[in-house]
Structures are given as C-alpha cells and as structure tokens.
Amino acid sequence: MDMQHVASKGLVLLGCGKMGSAMLEGWLNDGLPAGSVYVLDPYPSDWLKGTGVHINTDLPTDPAIVLVAVKPQMMGEALPTLVAKGNGEAVFVSVAAGTPIAQFEAVLGGQTPIVRAMPNTPAAIGRGITAIIGNTHVSAAALDLAEALLQAVGQVVRLETEDQIDAVTGVSGSGPAYVFHLIETLAKAGEAQGLSPELSMQLAKATVGGAGALAEAAAEDPAQLRVNVTSPNGTTQAALEVLMDEQSGFPTLLNKAVDAAVKRSKELARG
C-alpha cells in the first residue's frame, strides 16, 4: 500500500481548513495527482478551488484513505455522511482533536481501519510533529501509508497506546501556544528594560526560533546546550537561577501546565 495505491483508488479529505489545506498542499507538491483527491468542505477557499481537486462531488466507491480534518464540534454532522465507506478497505485517518477511535468505530462500524493522529499548528509551515496510533484493523502497510501522508506537514511518531494521545496533546499539541507565550513575555521583559516594543519582539522571536532550530540540529541534548552557554557567575546563570527555581521556575510551572492540558484532554475525550 503506497502513494500509487492512493492515486489510483482516491483520497477523500473531509474538511479543508488550515490543517487540511496544509496537508493537501504537501501531497500535491509531492506529486499526488489533483484528480485523485476528493474534498468535502461546505466553504471551500479560493485556493482550494484553484488546485484542481474534486470539491463536493460524488466520492470514489472504495477510496484508499479518508482523512478527517473537520473541527471536533462538526464531527457529529460530517462523519455520518461517510458511513458507507466504513467496515471496508478504506483507512480512516483522523486529525480531529478529542475524538477517540471508539467514537469513529461507533459511527462507521467496528471493523473499520482507523488511525488517530495528533498534529500541531507548525504543520502549517511543514514543521509540525504528529503522533499516530491505529486500531487493530489497521495493517502495517496502512499505518506506513498514514505516516507517509502526514509527513507532508512534518515529523511523525508512533504511539504504543491510544491513552498516550492525552500526554502528546499536553506536550506537542498545545505546546506551540506555550512557546508563543514565552515569546510574548520575553518581549515584554525587554520592553521593561528600555527596549522599543518592535526591537524587543524581533529579538524575542529570533531568539526562540533560533534556539529551537539549534536544539533540533545539534548533536548535544538541550541540557548540554544550556550548559554550553552558561558561563560561571555570568548573566545567563543569573537568569537561570530564577527560571530553574524548583518552587517558582520552569520545572514546576511547565509540569503544572502540561498536567492541566492532559487532564482537560481526558475530560474532552469522555465528552
């Protein structure tokens, strides 16, 4: 089961908002023929209309992949339209947050191959990371295919159990917002020290973006990179003594933040 299989049997994309558009753009750039893609979306964008894909037309009888990218609150309305594709060969891949595999099985049928995926927003620029887990009906080849499709927007990791999705949500799913807030607050701290808002924001964005890129590219782990730039009794050490404080610093704060996100993720999955 490969991309040629998808091209010949067809791919259905349910929902083409930011995430769906980012994935579709990646597939088309990777050579998936526009004529093999069928998009169902009530409000197709001008960009989508210009891609040459099928929009809101009859679907192929037995598509290779049905990728579900609608918002969770629209799931109850959108998913039943695809019941006829359940319990068959079509592999359903969902990037909808908070919708467990059991919910798809309940609507589509218990024999349906289903892959649940948790992407994050840097997927919009091809820098996302997506975690995937399949039910027992997903073959190794189908999971490979789901991974290949999701690699269009970044890295892909495989989970051992669906329960791990909640932890992934707390770390990488919600994580970009933590980093955006770090940029906000770092820029404000620069302003407090007399820098202009524009200059301080430019410094904060470039620092966080550059440090993230260095952390991914470097052979050393982030702890060693931190040590490398921390001169004894220097400026960085003075700041880190505040940030690494066990009571009020990052160790406690981020642990509490991720724990809150994970708990909320579990609550949403229970409905």
Which residues are known binding-site members for NADPH? 56
Residues 6 or more apart whose Cβ sits within 8 Å of residue 75: 68, 96, 99, 103
User: Which residues make up each annotated binding site?
Assistant: 14-19, 56, 69-72
Identify the CA nearest to 19 among candidates 41, 52, 35, 2.
41
User: Which residues make up each annotated binding site for NADP(+)?
Assistant: 14-19, 69-72
Alpha-helical regions (H) of 174-271: 175-192, 197-217, 222-228, 235-243, 250-270
Task: Please count the helices (runs of H) and the strands (runs of E) in the chain.
Answer: 12, 8
Length of the chain: 271
Identify the CA nearest to 182 among candidates 204, 215, 160, 159.
204
Residue 264: Cβ-neighbour burial (10 angstroms; 0-12, 13-18, 19+): middle
